[in-house]
C-alpha cells in the first residue's frame, strides 16, 4: 500500500473546490515561490518547528532527546541540526506545543478512514477531497491508488497543482481526477524563475496538454503587486487561458497577503519578502474586467 508525507489535513474546506471538502496537504514542492504562505510545504522532508512564545522552559525536550540535540537557553530551546535526527520525541513531550513536527507518513488506508468520516458533508454540499501541497503530483503512485479508491466510493476528487511534473504523470493522474486547480504564476519564464526558482515552459506545456485531454480545470492566479499584477503579464495570462482547448476555464484570483512570517520564524529561517505588495481593490476589479474582455470569468478566492 502506498503512503505519502502529509503536513496538514483541513476539514470543512470551502475554497479548495466545490462544496465542503477535506483538503490533504502533501509535503514537498519543486517550486520555491517567494510568497509561499506554507513554507513548511516546500521541503520533502520532516521538519521541526519551534514557537518561542509558547516555550515555558520546562526542559522536558532536553531530557528526552536521545542525541542531546536540544539545549535550553535564555532565547528558548536551541536545536543542533547536525545532531537532531527529527525523531519527534521532543514534540511528543512538549506540554505547550512549542515544538511541533511538520511531516507525517500516512498510508492510503489511514487517509481513506479520515476522508470517509467527512462523507456526510460531501453528500450534503457536493463536496469531496482535494489533494494539495506542496505539490501532490510528486507522489503519483500514491495519488493513483487513493484517487482510484475515492472514485470507487463516488467521492469527488480534486488536485491542486503547480504543474511542474512529467506530462505523462499528469495525464495518468488526470484519468482519476474530477477537477484540477491549476496554478498560473507568471507568463514570462525569466520572471517566473526569478520568483519561484524555476522556469515555466513545462508548466505551460502541461496546462495545454491537460486542457487538450478534456480535463475539468480551474485556473488559479496568485495576484501580487510587483510580481505578476502588471497589465502586460495579466494580458498575456488572459490571452493564454482564453486560447486553451475546450470550454473557457474559470479563473480564481488569489490576492497576496504576507501571512507566512510566523511560519518562517517557527522554521528558523528568513525569507526575502521585498518587492511584493498586496493588490488594491481597484487592481483586483481591473483584473476581473481585463479577463472579462477575453470571455473569461474571474472571481476572487476559491
* pLDDT digits 0-9 by tens, 41-73: 999 999 999 999 999 999 999 999 999 999 988
Same domain, 233 and 291: yes
3-state helix, strand, coil in the chain (%, to 5): 35, 25, 40
pLDDT tens string 198-235: 999 999 999 999 999 999 999 999 999 999 999 999 99
Same domain, 88 and 141: no
Do the beta carbons of residue 90 and residue 61 sit within 8 Å?
yes
Cα 233 from Cα 223, distance rounded (Å): 11
Transcribe 17-47 into DSSP letters.
SSSSEEEEEEP--S---TT-S-GGGT-SS-E
CATH code where residue 74 lies: 3.30.70.20
Cα 266 from Cα 123, distance rounded (Å): 38
Same domain, 29 and 53: no
Strand partners, 25: 8, 132
Do you know the residue count of the chain?
302
CATH code where residue 115 lies: 3.20.20.70
For the chain, how many structural domains are there in total? Answer: 2
Same domain, 171 and 228: yes
What pLDDT was estimated at residue 272?
Answer: 87
Confidence label for 277 from pLDDT (cuts 50, 70 and 90): very high
For 120, residues 6+ apart whose C-beta sits below 8 A from its C-beta are none
Same domain, 11 and 36: yes
- Quick one: CA torsion of 243, 162, 290, 228, rounded to 10 degrees? -130
Confidence label for 268 from pLDDT (cuts 50, 70 and 90): confident
Quick one: how far is CA 88 from the chain centroid? 23
pLDDT tens string 1-24: 799 999 999 999 999 999 999 999
Same domain, 66 and 121: no
Q: Are strands 76-79 and 21-26 parallel, antiparallel or unpaired?
A: unpaired
Domain extent, residue 133, equals 3-44+104-300
Amino acid at each position: 500500500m502506498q503512503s505519502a508525507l502529509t503536513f496538514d489535513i483541513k476539514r470543512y474546506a470551502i475554497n479548495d473546490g466545490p462544496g465542503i471538502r477535506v483538503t490533504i496537504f502533501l509535503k514537498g514542492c519543486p517550486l520555491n515561490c517567494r510568497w509561499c504562505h506554507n513554507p513548511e510545504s516546500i521541503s520533502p522532508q520532516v521538519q521541526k518547528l519551534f514557537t518561542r512564545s509558547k516555550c515555558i522552559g520546562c526542559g522536558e525536550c532536553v531530557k528526552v532527546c536521545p542525541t542531546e540535540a536540544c539545549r535550553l537557553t535564555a532565547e528558548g530551546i536551541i536545536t543542533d541540526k547536525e545532531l537532531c535526527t527529527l525523531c519527534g520525541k521532543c514534540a511528543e513531550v512538549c506540554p505547550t506545543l512549542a515544538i511541533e513536527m511538520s511531516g507525517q507518513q500516512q498510508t492510503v488506508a489511514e487517509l481513506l478512514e479520515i476522508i470517509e468520516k467527512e462523507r456526510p458533508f460531501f453528500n450534503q454540499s457536493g463536496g469531496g477531497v482535494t489533494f494539495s501541497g506542496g505539490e501532490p503530483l510528486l507522489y503519483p503512485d500514491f495519488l493513483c491508488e487513493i484517487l482510484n479508491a475515492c472514485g470507487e466510493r463516488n467521492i469527488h476528487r480534486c488536485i491542486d497543482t503547480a504543474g511542474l511534473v512529467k506530462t505523462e504523470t499528469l495525464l495518468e493522474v488526470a484519468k482519476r481526477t474530477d477537477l484540477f486547480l491549476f496554478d498560473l504564476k507568471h507568463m514570462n519564464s525569466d520572471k517566473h524563475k526569478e520568483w519561484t526558482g524555476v522556469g515555466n515552459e513545462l508548466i505551460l506545456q502541461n496546462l495545454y496538454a491537460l486542457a487538450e485531454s478534456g480535463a475539468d480545470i480551474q485556473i488559479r492566479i496568485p495576484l501580487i503587486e510587483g510580481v505578476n499584477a502588471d497589465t502586460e503579464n495579466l494580458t498575456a495570462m488572459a490571452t493564454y487561458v482564453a486560447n486553451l482547448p475546450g470550454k473557457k476555464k474559470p479563473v480564481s484570483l488569489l490576492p497576496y497577503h504576507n501571512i507566512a512570517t510566523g511560519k518562517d520564524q517557527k522554521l528558523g529561517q528568513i525569507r526575502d519578502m521585498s518587492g511584493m505588495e498586496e493588490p488594491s481593490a481597484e487592481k483586483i476589479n481591473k483584473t476581473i474586467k481585463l479577463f472579462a474582455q477575453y470571455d473569461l470569468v474571474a472571481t476572487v478566492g476559491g
